[in-house]
Amino acid sequence: MQPSQRINGVFAAALTPLNEDFSIQVEALPGLLHFLAQRGCHGALLFGTTGEGPSFSAKERLRVFQAVSTLRQDLPGFKLLAGTGTPSLDDTIQLTRAAFENGFDGVVVLPPYYFRKATDEGLYAWYQNVIQKSVPGDGVLLGYHIPSISGVSLSIDLLSRLKDAFPGQFGGLKDSSGEPDYTYQLDQRFGGELIVLTGSDGLLGQALEKHASGCITAMANLFSPLLREVWDAFHAGKPYIQVQAQLIARRDILSAYAPNASILKALLPRLHDLPAWTVRPPLLPTRPELVEKALQELAEIEC
């Protein structure tokens, strides 16, 4: 089975439950993942940007990988991806290997984001080492293209070279650039040969039209049924523009309350029956008055 057949659909960029002392509330993860599965998600990414991934040590991530490995029995069709990219090549290799050893379906790997002037040759060597030393023959590694945050772009030529060198293990990328032109370039070069999971809720329909495999988004924590409705409508050949517009309206509201992790953790217990979790510094909780304002704005578009 090709990687693109194994990893597709609507994925949540899952929040990371935290106690007030900023430790990971590991026991809350099964409940969160069951919640996402019940609301139409095909899977979830742990320790992505919305999951505050770079804020957690390798030891903390490993503990979570081990803890959720048993979920396969309860959620056999639910796909799990792990964010394993760090600026450290060795840490990235160890985390990636551990994710696969604990049954994850794939990994999403940031480039070494401190070195913003790294060349394609250097990035190729970095990913080459990660794949050769930690990705099994049936494993799938996705790059993570989020240049506005990481400062490092994954060029079309780099992706093509990695795909040619590792056709089984290098599956594609999560594209959080928010740039329609990049989506167009991916389609022109690869068609449907790469897994492309858009990180932009407002671009899901457009990305699917350009052979994307689905999405990994922050808003799936709150509004995954809408994302799933776009996905299902597209694949059934039905109109989805109105539902897409609802997603865009919600995205426009939430974008004013960045960062995503803070506002989503504030809204989740207000909109759904889940606990309130804090964020880890340097992020700070969204101020209560802003939470109320966001709730009001979201309520107005429901009318």
Domains of the chain and any CATH numbers:
3-225 (3.20.20.70)
Side-chain half-sphere of 302: how many Cα atoms within 13 Å? Answer: 9
Distance CA 142, CA 166 (A): 12
Q: Say which of 79, 163, 174, 210 is annotated catalytic.
A: 174
Kindly report, residue by residue over 87-129, the tens digit of the pLDDT.
999 999 999 999 999 999 999 999 999 888 999 999 999 999 9
Q: Is the pLDDT of residue 303 over 70?
A: no
Which residue among 113, 127, 144, 182 is the active-site one? 144
Q: Is 144 part of the annotated catalytic residue set? A: yes
Report helix angle 260-271 to 288-302, nearest 10.
60
pLDDT at 97: 98
| Residues 229-245 pLDDT 10s | 999 999 999 999 999 99
Tokens of residue 83, six digits = 């964010």
Instruction: Work out the number of other CB atoms within 10 angstroms of the CB of residue 84.
Output: 31
pLDDT tens track for 142-173: 999 999 999 999 999 999 999 999 999 999 99
CB count in 10 Å sphere of residue 116 = 12
CA 276 to CA 298: how far, in whole Å? 19
Q: Looking at 70, 114, 184, 238, which residue is catalytic?
A: 114
The model carries a pTM of: 0.95
Q: How far is CA 165 from CA 90, 160, 175, 242, in A?
A: 21, 9, 21, 41
pLDDT tier, 273 (very low <50, low <70, confident <90, very high otherwise):
confident
Whether the Cβ atoms of residue 196 and residue 207 lie closer than 8 Å to each other = yes
**What's the pLDDT at 4?**
46
Question: Averaged over 24-29, what is the pLDDT?
Answer: 96
Instruction: Yes or no: say if 262 and 284 are a contact pair by the CB < 8 Å rule.
Output: yes
Annotation says 49 is catalytic = yes
Contacts of residue 287, Cβ cutoff 8 Å, sequence gap at least 6? none
Token couple for 97: 């290997």
**What φ, ψ does residue 216 adopt, rounded to 5°?**
-130, 110
Distances 24 to 55, 199, 201 between C-alpha atoms, Å: 11, 24, 27
Q: Output the DSSP codes for 190-251.
A: HTTSSEEEE--GGGHHHHHHTT--EEEESTHHHHHHHHHHHHHHHHTT---HHHHHHHHHHH
Known catalytic membership, residue 286: no
